[in-house]
């Protein structure tokens, strides 16, 4: 299965204050997000992380990456430093990517777009950065943890949620 997520902000003390995440400490935050990820994603699944993965030195980033299930791809976010971008555990690292998933062209970037490739042909923009606070455009979805119960999400779940919502 293929999953999408963004804005985990592991080891970033600002996240509890700025986004008012419901955790008593950064340690509790990071442990909960790792647990939610691993409850959702299996070892053979694929995860596209759309930026702002973690703060800290290479050892911290490497430890976090190795604790998470799945093959992991990074779309670079504005808070991803050299330790995150350069970690060899990523299956790939990009600023932008286009994928065909379940018959839909998905345009992946950390940032939400006003327009994107093949928008007129029903392509879909998946992004992070806005922490669930940006009103989406048609066929545009925030895959950040703040918008999805602090866990990765499938494209099918995204589509089902939009139909319900």
Residue 89 or residue 136, greater confidence: 89
pLDDT value of residue 92 = 98
Q: In what order do the strands lie in the sheet with 104-109?
A: 96-101, 104-109, 124-127, 140-142
Distance of CA 9 to the CA centre of its chain: 10
Percent with pLDDT over 70 in the chain: 98
pLDDT value of residue 164 = 56
Strand stretches in the chain, DSSP E: 2-5, 46-49, 71-75, 92-94, 96-101, 104-109, 124-127, 140-142, 153-154
Convert the pLDDT of each residue in 69-127 to its tens digit.
999 999 999 999 999 999 999 999 999 999 999 999 999 999 999 999 999 999 999 99
Q: Distance between CA 9 and CA 21 in Å, rounded?
A: 11
Q: Distance between CA 114 and CA 106 in Å, rounded?
A: 15
pLDDT at 160 over 60: yes
* Residue 72, beta-bridge partner list: 47
Strands 104-109 and 92-94: unpaired
- Domains by residue range for the chain, with CATH: 2-164 (3.60.21.10)
């Amino acid at each position: 299965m293929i999953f999408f997520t963004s804005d985990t902000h592991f080891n970033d003390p600002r996240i509890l204050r700025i986004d008012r995440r419901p955790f008593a400490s950064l340690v509790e935050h990071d442990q909960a997000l790792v647990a939610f990820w691993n409850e959702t994603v299996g070892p053979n699944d694929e995860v596209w992380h759309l930026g702002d993965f973690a703060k800290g030195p290479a050892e911290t980033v490497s430890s976090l990456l190795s604790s998470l299930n799945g093959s992991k791809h990074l779309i670079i976010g504005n808070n991803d430093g050299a330790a995150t971008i350069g970690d060899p555990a990523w299956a790939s690292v990009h600023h932008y990517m286009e994928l065909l998933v379940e018959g839909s062209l998905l345009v992946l970037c950390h940032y939400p777009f006003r327009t994107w490739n093949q928008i007129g042909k029903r392509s879909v923009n998946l992004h992070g950065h806005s922490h669930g606070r940006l009103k989406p455009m048609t066929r545009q979805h925030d895959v950040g943890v703040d918008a999805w119960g602090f866990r990765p999400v499938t494209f099918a779940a995204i589509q089902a949620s939009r139909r319900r919502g």
